Structure 1
Amino acid sequence: MLWSLPLLWACFAPATLTALASPGKPLSRRWADVAEVHSWNEIPRGWKVLSSAPPDYPLNMRIGLKQYGMDELIENLLEISDPTHPRYTQHLTKEEANAFKAPHKDASQAVDEWLAFHDINLSSADRTPSGDWISITIPVSQAEALLNTEYHLYEHLSSGEQVIRTLRYSLPRELHAHVDVVAPTTYFGTLKSMKATSFLLPNVDPVSVGDYVAQAASEKHSAGAASENNPGAVLPSCNNTITPACLRALYKTYDYTPASTDKNALGVVGYLNEFANKMDHQMFFKTFRADVPATNAAGFETVLVNGGQDDQSKPGVEANLDIQYTTGISYPTPNTYYSVGGSPPFQPDSFTTKNTNEPYLDFIEFIYKQDKIPQTLSTSYGDDEQTVPRDYAERVCKEFAAIGSRGVSIFFSSGDSGVGGGACTTNDGTNRTTFQPSFPASCPYVTTVGATVHINPEVAIPFSGGGFSNYFAAPAYQGDAVSNYLWDYGTRNKGMFNRSGRAYPDVSAQGVAYQVVVRGMVTPVGGTSASTPTVASIFALLNDHRISQNKAPLGFINPLLYSTLSSGFTDITQGSNPGCGTDGFSAARGWDPVTGLGTPDFQKLLKLIEGL
């Protein structure tokens, strides 16, 4: 059943002097003076409007109150992440972080009074422990009154997913000092429209189990005594085929045995109904980690988040890639795969209260409530930064800072479109051609991973996402490294990117021809989705070493990367990431926006953290 066709978005009344009130309720002057929070100039690309939203359809709405101590929390984060600071790695407890995240009492009171005016039962509101998020379930008609807007039903053209969103929303001016963001509103990035940063490689022949074993044996035999004296030698086949043995040799983790498996853990965050299959995982270990006893090869736990599932009959390429390589490198470190749900398909007559489709917020809300969080998290998804409303992106980025303050290293892939895919035009109405940064890769409180290819030497791969944020300023920790690159880069591609923005990636690793078992068959996969769990696993091992010495985990590592650890990476100086009709950026000596600081050398990194 289709609902009545909507007016064009250009016909929305401007949110200035009047606001909608609940039906039959006189307008309050206090709440009538409204101002716009965010709006789109046009329907986001890749979406089409279908109809007005059903007025009685229930929305699970989140209101993000400004976190009164967030600036102080970030100051703490930078202190405890600075290896030269006396408080280095003195991470915050859950309670301490919650205290910083709490809103001011005036904010809570004002928002409660606003909700009460609109006849919302405050006793039914769900609040986070710190009180910085309020969740309410209300019908669309009431949400429209709250936000002085109109909701519509939209469809994602490529996936067919349908969501209820609006092109603009407003709040009473009084609340602008108290509220960061309201969702769902103008953020159209949903589970199915998000980009998993991996892809199949149909032109690359997979390795059969028998051929792999035979080839590895042959290469070791031909290497003779050199192989016996150097068990970590990188085999020639690694130039075309990536396996755990290749990565463990190339990045020098092959002879490290984790010693803190009772305390250290690694988490992989998965979306898009991507399920990590345990039978495939066992076959992967039998083939590519034959040194591990078969009884131990199950190797990971699955945790369901916000309606996530674990359908073992539908193994996912992305999920299998991530979990097979994190466990393949970090074994026997405990690994957890977080299967994040979201909303079921839109149905006008449904009364679900989980129709949020806000993947980052769903996971953040879940993980922050946990008393214990894995010391390392890896995520291989993202959106073009310009498709994420700025208020939403800034709040999510702060939430990552809060998680990092509790001693967690958060890794995100840099994307697989170089400096930008497609036409690379802006969505602000000007249709200018510019480079397109990715989010959350552009958040300064996560560690972003690019991709390389080949060995002896490794070179940047053209799809490796990299560039400069248009939302977030360049953090001080990377100032010198980025300034040096930009000085040498000169005026090339002038005006195509924000020279003062947060630059990424921070580091990189191999990103092509990973051998992944899917439905019992070996499948070659590539992308920064492959390089990200690789780097995350290496830092999980570094955390293991620190914990074994009764030291705190590394936590937010970016300030450390650009200082003490900068010499612990193999500098990548060849290759580029073209896009948007340009040559993009080039790899260069030192940091560059294609491969970051380079690829990890675990043995060097291990020595560098010894004195911390």
Structure 2
Amino acid sequence: MPTVFLALAVVGGMAGALPSSAAASDRASIPDSKPSWATPQAKVADAAPASKLTFRVYLKLRDQAGAEAAARAVSDPSSSAFRHYLTTDQVRAAYAPERRTVDAVRGWLGSAGITVGSVPANNQYVEATGTVDQVQHVFGVNLAKYDVKGAKLRAADRNLSVPATLAPQVLGVVGVDQALNLLKPSHVTSNDTTTKANEGKATTKPTIAPPPDGLRNSTQCSSYWGEKVDTTDPTYGGGFPSPLNYSPCGYQPAQIRSVYGLDQAVNWGFDGRGTTVAIIDAFASPTIYEDASQYAARHDAAHPLRKEQFNQLVFPETDPTQEDACGASGWYGEETLDVEAVHATAPGANILYVGGSDCQDLSLDKALNEVVSKNLAQIVSNSYGNQGEDVPADEVNAFSSIAQQAALEGIGVYFSSGDNGDEVSTIGTASPDFSASSPWVTAVGGTSLGIGKDGKRVFETGWETGRSVLSGGVYTPSAPGAYQYGSGGGTSRLFPEPFYQKGVVPDALAAKNQTGTNRGRVVPDISMLGDPNTGFLVGETQTFPAPEGVHYDEYRIGGTSLSSPLFAGMMAVSDQFTHFRHGFINPWLYKVTSHTPAITDVQHVSQADVRVDFVNGLDATGGLRTTVRSFDYPGLAISTARGYDDVTGLGTPNGFWFLALS
């Protein structure tokens, strides 16, 4: 399967450490290592010379073509090598960069006065920290601040360069620019908001930051779809049902297992036991286990989250003296949701929480590589992403290398598809989000879901939300409202159509955003509940105004950051059910399960609900706000349709049918 690897010019063989002052003729440029937005017109200031930054020099695999071919072979049901995964030792022996390459890079950086940090077990990169002045010198650039969509981000004024003798082994450099600072967790809360290196070794100590501000649902919500109906407000119109149901307060674990056909499997002991699901986010809530344990005790008492089921590897928080270090507490809700969602669909699975040192891909890729390089889990859920695909080639290359190694080892990597629909409202053009658009991951989209009193599906459709506010007896704007948010999807401009999507994904979708006869990777691959208006109840320690203070409470949450861990949990059950790792499942999904009862096709449904929210997010003292949320909003560049579509992918997994076809 072709991937995007922007190769450096091959200038010569390996050599020892070179001084950073090597002549220009002895250096090689790293293509596309300067962000496109770093233009003279956007420059606002030079970077402070004494400011520190941490970056990573990623190294090429020894046999990139061989690694890619082997990763495809072990993942493809039509291959004789299908599911004959490699051990971590075998991957290192066959493909990892050589130690002499690592030593040469370390020597080169050290000779420039840069502090050289960690090297992971698979020799994937060399991490280092230096001042802006040192980094400018070693890469032959000038660093400045540029105005990018209202943010002031650091970048180089030209492509980075490295000694010519090192260039053939360098995959890219990540962290010199700040193109990834806009990365966000893919969750939406009940008030409609989205939200030191220790030589690089993870610890078991969570970061300490104050809990986030408290949130609560209003009492005007339902425990299941249709429990409470709005008979007092005006008719919404637009062909939607009348009267409308009040939104659910947040579905609970048993309801999720029931609607997706997992309840019987769990009751028979197929609950994910013996498997490990890794969850990767930034930072770590200090109360994450206590919150998830209390949540399970309250809402899923037959399936407690036992202490021995939960472990953490947390990289120490980025040194706050480093330029533009970001805070931790904004990610706490994401982390708690991920743990509680995995436990909801796989209550017997082990959970490994891995917390990056900050909220940039630089740190999150490091956390992912920690799992892959040591084979710490067979399933990895990632609930974050970039807005669109305007991502430096260095980051794309580095991530692709890690994801391919995961496939070689039989590790399934799952990514939320995003919460901004087609991204037109945020970046001005239709695009899926990276890293979900990578052909080496499974992109999980979101749905809007009605679960009835009996735990069965009343409806399920694509999550794309329209919003109308009730004021003076009138809904503004009228049905279907104004687009607010929804499941990410679309056709990649970065990645060509992978082999497994050919013949399944409609040609009209694969041809979007392309030129000539080219075809692109289409996102997502599969979907589960994501809409916060039919969302999941989550429990978390929060900070409330005096006299309440800090304590545990609950609220409704959603986003594709709910979809991804729910599906990761289902795959843990499937791994236990079949007694083998599924690994990278996309070829299997498209070749074996599509067009079968294993996948429930998600189609358009004309449906909406009424939400009543506290204006202040806490109680009625600040007033109430009534809105209607319409489902599967029309008019985007992506849409829900019969068969494969670019909002919900192939559809949603269907219980025992899905497990049986594994």
Higher percent of residues as helix:
1
Contact 2:440 2:584 in 1 (8 A): yes
In structure 2, relative to structure 1, the CA distance for the partners of 1:275 and 1:319 (3 Å cut) is farther
> Residue 74 of structure 1 is aligned with which of 68, 72, 80?
68
Distance 1:363 1:182, change over 3 A: same
1:280 aligns to what? 291
Query: Which residue in the other structure is 2:602 paired with?
Result: 572
Asked if residue 189 in structure 1 is aligned to residue 171 in structure 2, the reply is: no
526-535 vs 33-42, which deviates more?
Answer: 33-42
Q: Which residue of 1 aligns with 2:158?
A: 168
* Aligned match for 2:401, one of 390, 398, 402: 398
- Aligned partner of residue 286 in structure 1, secondary structure: helix
Structure 1 CA distance for aligned equivalents of residues 330 and 55 of structure 2: 31
Q: Does 1:62 align with 2:56?
A: yes
Check the 8 A contact 2:114/2:130 in 1, yes or no.
Answer: no
CA 1:180–1:32 in 2, change beyond 3 Å: closer, same or farther?
Answer: closer
Determine whether 1:53 maps to 2:47.
Answer: yes
Q: Give the residue type in structure 1 aligned to 2:190.
A: L
Partner of 1:38, secondary structure, is coil
Q: Deviations over 1:224-274 (max 9, x none)?
A: xxxxxxxxxxxx999774221221011111022346866311121121655
Structure 1 residues 495-533: Cα deviation after superposition (integer angstroms, max 9, x where no partner): 799961211100001112211123332211121111111
Cα 1:41/1:270, change in 2 over 3 Å: closer
Confirm whether residue 301 of structure 1 aligns to residue 311 of structure 2. yes
Native 8 Å contact 1:154 1:163 kept in 2 = yes
Written as runs of structure 1 = structure 2, the 5 A alignment for 1:443-458 is: 443-455=438-450, 456-458=458-460
Mapped to 2, the partners of 1:357 and 1:322 lie a distance apart of 18
Q: How does 1:7-156 map to 2 (within 5 A)?
A: 27-28=22-23, 30-32=25-27, 34=29, 37-43=32-38, 51-103=45-97, 119=112, 126-152=118-144
Q: Alpha-carbon deviation of 1:291? A: 2.4
Which residue matches 2:9? Answer: none
Hey, which of these two has a bigger chunk of strand by percent? 2
Q: Which amino acid aligns with 1:517?
A: G
* 2:357 is aligned with 1:341: yes
SS state at 1:470 partner: strand
Equivalent pairs, count: 527
Q: Which amino acid aligns with 1:458?
A: E
CA contact (8 A) 1:63 1:179 kept: yes
Shift of 1:599: 0.5
Residues 186 and 389 in structure 1, CA contact (< 8 A), matched pair in contact too = no
1:418/1:578 contact within 8 Å kept: no
Residue of structure 2 equivalent to 1:266: 277
Instruction: Verify the 8 A CA contact 2:530 2:558 in the aligned structure 1.
Output: yes
2:507 partner amino acid: L
- 1:464 matched to 2:487: yes
Following superposition of structure 1 onto structure 2, how do residues 181-260 of structure 1 map, counting pairs within 5 Å?
Answer: 181-190=172-181, 193-202=182-191, 206=217, 241-257=250-266, 258=269
CA root-mean-square deviation:
4.0
State the distance in 2 between where 1:201 and 1:81 align. Answer: 39
- Residue aligned with 1:411, SS: strand
The percent identity for this pair of structures is: 22
Q: Distance in 2 between matches of 1:312 and 1:134?
A: 25
Pick one of 477, 486, 492 that aligns with 2:507: 486
* DSSP-derived class of the 1:39 partner: coil
Matched, 1:539 2:571: yes
The SS at the match of 2:159 is strand
After alignment, is 323-332 or 262-271 more displaced?
Answer: 262-271
Contact 1:373–1:408 at 8 Å: present in 2 too? Answer: no
Per the alignment, do residues 328 and 32 of structure 1 end up closer, same or farther by CA in structure 2, a change over 3 Å counting? Answer: closer
- What displacement does 1:366 show? 2.3
Structure 2 vs 1, CA of residues 210 and 573 (structure 1 numbering), >3 Å: closer, same or farther? closer
C-alpha separation in 2, matches of 1:35 and 1:78: 28
Task: Give the match for residue 8 of structure 1.
Answer: none
SS in 1 for 2:172: strand
Instruction: State the match for 2:362 in structure 1.
Output: 358
Q: Pick one of 530, 541, 548 that aligns with 1:511.
A: 530
Tell me the SS of whatever aligns to 1:459.
strand
Q: Is the 8 A contact 2:380 2:413 kept in 1?
A: yes
Question: Structure 1 pair 304/238, CA: closer, same or farther in 2 (3 Å)?
Answer: same
Residue segments in structure 2 that go unaligned for 5+ positions in a row = 1-16, 193-214, 229-244, 320-326, 451-457, 465-485, 542-551, 606-630
- Name the residue aligned to 1:290: 301
Contact 2:527–2:648, Cα closer than 8 Å, also in 1: yes
Q: State the distance in 1 between where 2:557 and 2:517 align.
A: 32
* CA distance in 1 between partners of 2:591 and 2:516 (Å): 25
Greater mean deviation of Cα atoms: 103-112 or 26-35: 103-112
Alignment partner, residue 233 of structure 1: none
- Determine the C-alpha separation between the residues in 1 that align with 2:331 and 2:108: 46
Secondary structure of residue in 1 paired with 2:278: strand
Q: Is the 8 A contact 2:34 2:155 kept in 1?
A: no
Deviation string 1:45-71 (CA, Å, 9 cap, x unpaired) is xx9866433434444332112212122
Residues in 1 aligned to 2:104 and 2:333: alpha-carbon distance in whole angstroms: 47
Partner of 1:555: 583
CA contact (8 A) 1:572 1:588 kept: yes
